[in-house]
Amino acid sequence: MSPTGTSHQAIRGIGVSPGRAVGTVLRMPPPVPEPSGTRRGPGLSDDDAAAQIAAAAERVREGLERSAQGAVGTSREVLETTAMMAADPTLVSTAQDLVRSGDLTPARAVWEAAGQVIDQLAALGGYMAERTRDVADVRDRVVAALTGRPAPGVPDPGHPFVLVARDLAPADTATLDPDRVLAIVTSEGGPTSHTAILARALGIPAVVGAAGAVDLHDDAPVLVDGGKGEVVPDPSEEQVARAQELAAQVRTFDGHGRTRDGHPVPLLANVGNPDGAQPAADAGAEGVGLFRTEFCFLDRKQAPTVEEQVAAYRRVLAAFAGKKVVVRTLDAGADKPLPFLTATDEPNPALGVRGLRTATRDAQVLEDQLTAIAQAAAAEHAETWVMAPMVATVEETEDFVARCTAHGLPTAGVMVEVPSAALLAGPILARAAFASIGTNDLTQYAMASDRLLGSLAGLSTSWQPAVLQLIAATCRGGAQQGRPVGVCGEAAADPALAVVLVGLGVATLSMSPRALPDVAAVLASVTRDECRRLAERALVAETADAARAEIRAALPVLEELGL
């Protein structure tokens, strides 16, 4: 910690998960490379090489079990599964055979043995094929142990730390423990990447696209401000004290989103894993505005059965009896490939057969899902709405609504994520019961900027005036048809932008439950007319920075609340 006034220049990035944390840096180890040298020198006998492999696998198993004991939830499950794979003798014995028959180095033998095990599992299909990623994980850990590299994945130093990485893979984010990881800083990664969404869901302050973070070294003290998108190396005592004061403020949400003059703006939750539904309800969410059903089935090689879908969906509906739950049909593709539904050979997956478009290739998956949603809805007491992702045309809307009607699902809507849908909101909403704007993809497609790329983060913000105009067009279409328009992209969780969205005519805002108290507090500080006036000002801004700066300056409550 520096004495007052001597802190270093802040590293700028994009704040994707609000909150402040002070701690020391730990960098994510680089991925384990394929061992290049294959032949063993004469100095190491077959037996010694074989013994090294067994010992390394054992060390890996022990380490994973230790980590699992200190972990909870998904993180614990992932670690336990990987420890079990490390204990499986097949990989070790196959590698030991290879050192004996082929003079391979222990690391090379483990690499090749894992390749054989992966091929065998993949050929078996189904559940076994889903384990190939675990084998690759164990392989990397054993090779790291053999070659003296740090173990791959999120490090576990036994104390809390600020995780600094280039970007995080989905499997790494699954093992993030909010009690250990004080904050996340990535030098790449876009603001609406799923890593960012997960960090927000876990309540871990996060800054992405902070190119300067590559210069941070292990154990360096830093202050991370996930709201402002700033990383302050060697912060001053004053900065630390202010951050701690703000971090100690606990806001809650009373379950009624409204403006200062009492105009209701229902604040809903985005839910992925059904485990998140009850905590979302406990956080006061007035319903679910986006249930990302594909998150239940990522990594599946085969389509889930109707029965298992019913079981998963019922858990979410049960947590919201008497309230609205908007179930989105599988949004497979791009950064969320579902092996049973998406092609792997498309040159541009974000522009490919994804979302609702997959039904043109395999309508049965959609039909089964609608069957499952209808059964779950009939068995529970939530108000079940259904919507399709990635709708671009009136014909797609008609087709989807007709399918829902045939399944007895009367409230069928569309997501507005493609600019064409925003521009056609009138005719689309003449057919659909509601629209929900997915600002993450709407921004990606309006700005032609990959939402996963940190280097394009300046483009990938929903403050872009062009994006705001598309949102305004969607709201006009909704008003013409008397249909509600909500927002369920990350824009809804930005308290300043939420004010603008309400002013543009958005009826409901759906977000990660952690964002509910902040959005509610800021909305409660403005009247509906003020929202409208601010929306007009944002709409005529010429740049994203100007729009954001102007609205933030008009909302002093943000500074008071430390947002």
Scan residues 280-339 and list those touching Mg ion (CB under 5 A).
Answer: none
Of the ranges 90-98, 316-324, 419-427, 433-441, which one interacts with ligand PEP (CB under 6 A)? 433-441
Of the ranges 206-214, 438-446, 453-461, 549-557, which one interacts with ligand PEP (CB under 6 A)? 438-446
Beta carbon of residue 389, minimum distance to Mg ion (angstroms, whole number): 6
Q: Which CB sits closer to ligand PEP, 268 or 547? A: 268
Q: Which CB sits closer to ligand PEP, 184 or 488? A: 488
User: In a 3-state reduction of DSSP, which class is residue 546?
Assistant: helix
Sign for the CA dihedral angle at 401, 402, 404, 405 comes to: positive
Q: Which CB sits closer to Mg ion, 177 or 441? A: 441
Which among Mg ion, ligand PEP, none contacts residue 399 (Cβ within 5 to 8 A by kind)?
A: none
Beta carbon of residue 415, minimum distance to Mg ion (angstroms, whole number): 7
User: In a 3-state reduction of DSSP, which class is residue 244?
Assistant: helix
Which among ligand PEP, Mg ion, none contacts residue 188 (Cβ within 5 to 8 A by kind)?
A: none
Secondary structure element (H or E) that encloses residue 366, with its range = helix 363-379
Quick check: 223 and 240 in contact, CB under 8 A?
yes
Amino acid at 215: D
Among 137, 172, 396, 417, binds ligand PEP (CB under 6 A): 417
Q: Which CB sits closer to ligand PEP, 438 or 505? A: 438
Of the ranges 83-91, 115-123, 152-160, 439-447, which one interacts with ligand PEP (CB under 6 A)? 439-447
List the 206-208 sheet strands across, edge first: 11-12, 230-233, 221-225, 20-27, 161-165, 181-186, 206-208, 14-17
Secondary structure (DSSP) of 236-259: BHHHHHHHHHHHH------S--B-
**Rounded Cα distance, 532 and 529, in Å:** 5
Which among ligand PEP, Mg ion, none contacts residue 229 (Cβ within 5 to 8 A by kind)?
A: none
263 is catalytic: no
Quick check: 512 and 461 in contact, CB under 8 A?
no
Q: Tell whether residue 229 is a contact of ligand PEP (CB under 6 A).
A: no
Q: Tell whether residue 259 is a contact of ligand PEP (CB under 6 A).
A: no
Q: Which CB sits closer to Mg ion, 20 or 354? A: 354
194 is catalytic: yes
Q: Kindly give, in sequence order, each residue whose CB lies less than 8 Å from that of residue 180, ignoring residues fewer than 6 positions away.
A: 156, 159, 160, 161
Among 227, 438, 478, 562, binds Mg ion (CB under 5 A): 438
Q: Which CB sits closer to Mg ion, 243 or 442? A: 442
Quick check: 392 and 428 in contact, CB under 8 A?
no
Catalytic residue among 194, 407, 475, 531: 194
Residue positions counted in the chain? 563
Q: Tell whether residue 439 is a contact of ligand PEP (CB under 6 A).
A: yes
Q: Kindly give, in sequence order, each residue whose CB lies less than 8 Å from that of residue 184, ignoring residues fewer than 6 positions away.
A: 17, 162, 163, 165, 168, 176, 195, 199, 204, 205, 206, 207, 208
Q: Tell whether residue 438 is a contact of ligand PEP (CB under 6 A).
A: yes
Tokens of 411: 């409230």
Beta carbon of residue 292, minimum distance to Mg ion (angstroms, whole number): 9
Q: Tell whether residue 494 is a contact of Mg ion (CB under 5 A).
A: no
Q: How many helices (H) and strands (E) does the chain have?
A: 23, 16
Please tell me what DSSP assigns to residue 336.
B
Catalytic residue among 296, 475, 488, 531: 488
Among 140, 441, 518, 530, binds Mg ion (CB under 5 A): 441
Sign for the CA dihedral angle at 457, 458, 462, 466 comes to: negative
Beta carbon of residue 389, minimum distance to ligand PEP (angstroms, whole number): 7
Scan residues 289-308 and list those touching ligand PEP (CB under 6 A).
Answer: 290, 292
Q: Which CB sits closer to Mg ion, 415 or 544? A: 415
Which among ligand PEP, Mg ion, none contacts residue 439 (Cβ within 5 to 8 A by kind)?
A: ligand PEP
**CA nearest to 163, candidates 130, 101, 207:** 207
**Rounded Cα distance, 188 and 150, in Å:** 22
Among 94, 375, 440, 460, binds ligand PEP (CB under 6 A): 440
Scan residues 309-348 and list those touching ligand PEP (CB under 6 A).
Answer: 331
Max CA pair span of the chain: 82
Quick check: 398 and 427 in contact, CB under 8 A?
no
Q: Would you give the binding string for Mg ion spanning residues 416-435, x where CB under 5 A is met?
A: -x------------------
Total residues interacting with ligand PEP, rule: CB under 6 A: 10
H helices of 7-88, in order, are 46-69, 73-87
Pairing state of beta strands 14-17 and 267-271? unpaired
**CA nearest to 435, candidates 516, 508, 491:** 508
Sign for the CA dihedral angle at 49, 52, 58, 61 comes to: negative
Q: Would you give the binding string for ligand PEP spanning residues 450-489, x where CB under 6 A is met?
A: --------------------------------------xx
Secondary structure (DSSP) of 512-537: -GGGHHHHHHHHTTS-HHHHHHHHHH
Which among ligand PEP, Mg ion, none contacts residue 292 (Cβ within 5 to 8 A by kind)?
A: ligand PEP
Secondary structure element (H or E) that encloses residue 263, with its range = none
- What is the contact surface with Mg ion in residues (CB under 5 A)? 417, 438, 441
Catalytic residues: 194, 488
- What is the contact surface with ligand PEP in residues (CB under 6 A)? 290, 292, 331, 417, 438-441, 488-489
